[in-house]
Structure 1
Amino acid sequence: MSFFWKGQHHNMTDQGRTVEPPQTDDSAASVFDATRFKIIAIGVIAALAGLMSGLDIGVVAGALDLIGKEYHASTLALEWVVSSMMAGAAAGALGAGWLSHHLGRKRSLILGAAVFVVGTIGCAMGWSIPSIIVFRVIMGIAVGISAFTAPLYLSEIASEESRGAMVSTYQLMVTVGIFVAFLSDTYFSYSGNWRWMFGVAGIPAVLFLIGVLFLPYSPRWLIMQGRHREAREILMDLRNDPLEAAREIRAIREQLETKQEGFKLFRTNSNFRRSVALGIMLQAMQQFAGINIVMYYAPNILAAAHFDAHAQMWCTAIIGLVNMLATFVAVGFVDRWGRKPILYAGFAVMAVGMAVLALLLQGGMTTQSSQIAAVFLLMIFCAGFAMSAGPLMWVLCAEIQPLGGRDFGIAMSTFTNWMTNLLVGVSFLSLMKAIGTGGTFWLFAGLNAFFLLLTILFVPETKGMSLNVIEKRLMQGVKLRKLGR
């Protein structure tokens, strides 16, 4: 099954020549609108993987204390309820490279969607802490597969001009999912029904499974499989200019002269090791920036600021809303402003927000104005992340890996994302107990300042660059920060 890709018919040879009659302005505009609609539809459906990931990330913030009370769980057990999903996601990310290469991007998304359904329903029916942890691992496997495959798929469907915005759509949907989960958590917190907090995520999981069946295959993957005619038909419907589609097909064929031998390339090619190392660094920067201490533990942080239970949930939902809205900045401007300027702004905002919040928490949060300031600073921090490191690390990781090791490189960076996510999730409550809430936030403020420096030194500006050009510059030994413009 696929989208209505046969809606336009172009007579085109392998060399890119067309024999179409000239189009009138009205018909050209109609073709442009239809193409745009298809691109948007693909982006939204594929990015529903991000929505499911966001729901699974956000739901635990509201459910955690309720689960702890029902099963009398220890701090360590609760940390593993949170972090077990990341362990599953790390495993899913490792396997996603193989799945994506052999089954294809589309089929991998279908598999991920089916696993989402199983994990979501299982968590809602959990009968003990161990059972919840097991189904959280299953949910994590789905998240790991989707976090690898969806940005990869979107980067291969999108044109060079829209690639940044398309891949950023995945992270936008993650933030939408987190916000929806926070709203759902707030609603069910009044009844204390944590099972429904998990259960409602089953509805979009089923919709995602149905929707992904209608996606087209990745043209790049089809060419890798020797299915050139199908790839040409899909690209013809996704590009306004037949010559542009022909050029893209030729570029992909040139790249495919290098076989997918990721681990072998990693062992033998130092330039590829550089791109893998950069992808690992980018994902570690994203997670150690501290966003998931807010996403997983916002109610706990707000409790430290002396908010009551329902105020904790409503403030958490507001923070989720800001996180979602700020992502539109990245989607709207990543292909205009570039990757690095947005990252500079984001890390600076996060460092300052964490530092000021640390000062407030060390002061004891004894007044209502200091409580309001704490919520405001959490919103500022989330806005800084959502407009920068949240979506852009996925964009960059999809852009910097050469085709010969593309699946391996992205799998390694995605695995790093979830392992560092696991480390943050499993240690945060214990860290707060060990060095205090204020000391913990000082730590994350310092990390964000350090990441700003790393961005200056190593991160390339890839705005408007073709994947082919980025790869050639990488393999020529050009410095990482100079791979792009």
Structure 2
Amino acid sequence: MSARGGEPKRSGLTTFVYVAVAVAAVGGFLFGYDTGVISGAILFITGEFALPPTLEEIATSSVLVGAILGAIAGGLLADRIGRRLSIIAASVVFLAGTGVVVVAPGLPVFLAGRVLIGMAIGIASFVVPLYISEIAPSALRGGMVSLNQLFITIGILISYGVDYLFSASSDWRAMFAFGAVPATVLLVGMFLLPDSPRWLVSRQQTDRATAVLRKVRGTGEISGELEEITKSNGVQKAGRWSDLLAPSIRMPLFVGFGLAVLQQLTGINTVIYYAPTIFQFAGLHSAGASIAATAGVGAVNVLATVAAVVLVDRTGRRPLLLAGIAGMVVSLAVLGAGFALSGAVQSGSLLGLITAVSLMAYVASFAIGLGPVFWLLIAEIYPLNVRGRAMSVATVANWGANFLITLTFLTLVGILEQAGVFWLYALVGLLAWFFVLRLVPETKGLTLEEIEEHFRAGRHPRELKGAPGPRG
């Protein structure tokens, strides 16, 4: 065992922890799939329901209303009924929402189904990384939690492929129906998995927590880790919403809230939701061609996230954030310049090339930094007794900012034109870079209890340095 936290070496792990993480991460796939599927489907929904731009924005962003509601409810659910049952509940709601969307005869029913799907996504978006962070060993926690982000990107890529598959027939209902498959896998899989050992300890179910720890660590020698979890839980009272205002929680709450908002205000979901529309702005007028180009962006997203999974426990959280945000700023500046100069160069093919390269670089930069590391950090920096509630606040802020960006993108394009919008997002990216530089801690290699103790002592986030190298 390592000297810190009593965790076993990597070689002592069984395949059970990897299976548990992979099953839970299917929730990330659902998150990604239904985030991405609207980008292609909206091209045909707009025509079938005769939607003007304002209603097109509402149809696209309606899922985010549900996601905000789900994120609000999810915090209470995660702390009260547990991480596992919360994910199961999200699976059921997702299946129900998918059914409503698929049979929708008009926009009102479609919006109702999208809100239901959004509620499921809102819950799963933070409960899945929360569950993974609480069963993963500290030496592997970054990569394992980031696996959820990898599944999100795979879900987005698959959604682009499904969109392209059904684009010839304009069958947007089939595009949404495919999402029922991973939802069923997640529902069945989570029924077969145990709850988080840390949540079980918080509910005084020590015997069950012990059994789960032995299973995921692959050894009976878990007394050190169990003692650390129990000790940390013992100094805390049952969590309440008012506890989020405690001095030791205010700063990590502010860090999580800030990252949540900045992640979205840099414009990532305008690319995810409106990528085919952006490519049409750049001259790819065929729906099939714009969706195919979008799939290329999705492939880059997956590959860059694989790199993040590999690097996050080696280089740390902060280096990936700083490098990734810098890449986003440069890519957005170039993308804006491409649109600004499009009239001068009078070449649609050149603008298309600039758009494709810039979007790919932008998405790759997001995928190694703000994409996975935001969700990882908010699963690490909050104390056990309010972890679900605190993550809920950060997630609500994230989805709220997502809603704002999605609802205003086409309107902003009408006011500022494409170049102005992307330059505005680049400016926000600069603010995000300085925010990370000044306030975001390094949590690499530390146990959740060590991170909790740091903030309980009232120390500044930047004083948390993380472990110097791989542990265990």
On the 8 A contact 1:282/1:397 being kept in 2, the answer is no
Question: In the TM superposition, what is the alpha-carbon distance from 1:32 to its structure 2 partner?
Answer: 4.5
Question: In the TM superposition, what is the alpha-carbon distance from 1:92 to its structure 2 partner?
Answer: 0.5
Three-state SS of the structure 1 residue aligned to 2:47 is helix
Instruction: Choose which of 225, 235, 238 in structure 2 pairs with 1:260.
Output: 238
Following TM superposition, where does structure 1 have runs of at least 4 consecutive aligned residues deviating by more than 6 angstroms? none
* 2:164 corresponds to 1:179: no
| Aligned position for 1:283 | 260
Question: In the TM superposition, what is the alpha-carbon distance from 1:398 to its structure 2 partner?
Answer: 0.8
Question: In the TM superposition, what is the alpha-carbon distance from 1:259 to its structure 2 partner?
Answer: 1.9
Question: In the TM superposition, what is the alpha-carbon distance from 1:225 to its structure 2 partner?
Answer: 1.8
| Aligned position for 2:176 | 198
Query: Cα RMSD between the aligned structures?
Result: 1.7
* 2:405 corresponds to 1:427: no
Equivalent positions of 1:159-308 (< 5 A) are 159-243=137-221, 245-257=222-234, 258-267=236-245, 269-308=246-285
Question: In the TM superposition, what is the alpha-carbon distance from 1:36 to its structure 2 partner?
Answer: 3.8
The amino acid across from 2:379 in the alignment is A
Instruction: Choose which of 406, 413, 426 in structure 1 pairs with 2:394.
Output: 413
Q: Could you report, residue by residue, the CA deviation over 1:400-459 in whole angstroms, capped at 9, with x for unpaired residues?
A: 112232222111001111111111111111111111001000001111122111110000
Q: Equivalents in 1 of 2:162, 2:244: separation in Å?
A: 44
Q: Equivalents in 1 of 2:370, 2:146: separation in Å?
A: 11
| Aligned position for 2:77 | 99
Equivalent positions of 1:133-144 (< 5 A) are 133-144=111-122
The amino acid across from 1:393 in the alignment is F
Q: Could you report, residue by residue, the CA deviation over 1:140-171 in whole angstroms, capped at 9, with x for unpaired residues?
A: 00001111210110000000101111111111
Q: Equivalents in 1 of 2:220, 2:66: separation in Å?
A: 43
Question: In the TM superposition, what is the alpha-carbon distance from 1:109 to its structure 2 partner?
Answer: 0.7
* 2:352 corresponds to 1:371: yes
Q: Equivalents in 1 of 2:369, 2:11: separation in Å?
A: 30
Q: Could you report, residue by residue, the CA deviation over 1:320-367 in whole angstroms, capped at 9, with x for unpaired residues?
A: 111111101111110000001111110010000000010001112732
Question: In the TM superposition, what is the alpha-carbon distance from 1:191 to its structure 2 partner?
Answer: 1.0
The amino acid across from 1:375 in the alignment is A
Question: In the TM superposition, what is the alpha-carbon distance from 1:242 to its structure 2 partner?
Answer: 3.7
Q: Equivalents in 1 of 2:354, 2:408: separation in Å?
A: 26
* 2:348 corresponds to 1:348: no
Question: In the TM superposition, what is the alpha-carbon distance from 1:285 to its structure 2 partner?
Answer: 1.6
On the 8 A contact 1:84/1:133 being kept in 2, the answer is yes
Q: Could you report, residue by residue, the CA deviation over 1:280-306 in whole angstroms, capped at 9, with x for unpaired residues?
A: 111112111211000000011111101
Question: In the TM superposition, what is the alpha-carbon distance from 1:240 to its structure 2 partner?
Answer: 4.2
Equivalent positions of 1:69-80 (< 5 A) are 69-80=47-58
Q: Equivalents in 2 of 1:465, 1:248: separation in Å?
A: 12
Question: In the TM superposition, what is the alpha-carbon distance from 1:272 to its structure 2 partner?
Answer: 1.1
| Aligned position for 1:384 | 365
On the 8 A contact 2:37/2:160 being kept in 1, the answer is yes
Percent identical: 35
| Aligned position for 2:3 | none
Equivalent positions of 1:436-447 (< 5 A) are 436-447=417-428
TM-score normalised per structure 2 = 0.93
Three-state SS of the structure 2 residue aligned to 1:299 is helix
TM-score normalised per structure 1 = 0.91
| Aligned position for 1:23 | none
Question: In the TM superposition, what is the alpha-carbon distance from 1:83 to its structure 2 partner?
Answer: 1.0
| Aligned position for 1:456 | 437
The amino acid across from 1:254 in the alignment is K
On the 8 A contact 2:16/2:216 being kept in 1, the answer is yes
The amino acid across from 1:386 in the alignment is A
On the 8 A contact 1:358/1:441 being kept in 2, the answer is yes
Q: Equivalents in 2 of 1:403, 1:39: separation in Å?
A: 20
Three-state SS of the structure 1 residue aligned to 2:105 is coil
On the 8 A contact 1:55/1:181 being kept in 2, the answer is yes
Equivalent positions of 1:38-187 (< 5 A) are 38-187=16-165
On the 8 A contact 2:332/2:425 being kept in 1, the answer is yes
Q: Could you report, residue by residue, the CA deviation over 1:86-138 in whole angstroms, capped at 9, with x for unpaired residues?
A: 11011111111111112111111111111111111211111111111111000
Three-state SS of the structure 1 residue aligned to 2:126 is helix
On the 8 A contact 1:122/1:135 being kept in 2, the answer is yes
Q: Equivalents in 2 of 1:221, 1:461: separation in Å?
A: 24
Q: Could you report, residue by residue, the CA deviation over 1:198-227 in whole angstroms, capped at 9, with x for unpaired residues?
A: 111112211221111111211111112222
On the 8 A contact 1:151/1:395 being kept in 2, the answer is yes
Gaps of 5+ in 1: 1-15, 17-27
Gaps of 5+ in 2: 1-5, 467-472
The amino acid across from 1:129 in the alignment is L
| Aligned position for 2:446 | 465
On the 8 A contact 1:465/1:484 being kept in 2, the answer is no
Figure out how many residues of one structure are paired with residues of the other and give that number.
455
Q: Equivalents in 2 of 1:321, 1:70: separation in Å?
A: 29
On the 8 A contact 2:261/2:401 being kept in 1, the answer is yes
On the 8 A contact 2:79/2:386 being kept in 1, the answer is no
The amino acid across from 2:23 in the alignment is I
| Aligned position for 1:7 | none
On the 8 A contact 1:79/1:426 being kept in 2, the answer is yes
Q: Equivalents in 2 of 1:436, 1:85: separation in Å?
A: 26
| Aligned position for 1:334 | 312
Three-state SS of the structure 1 residue aligned to 2:379 is helix
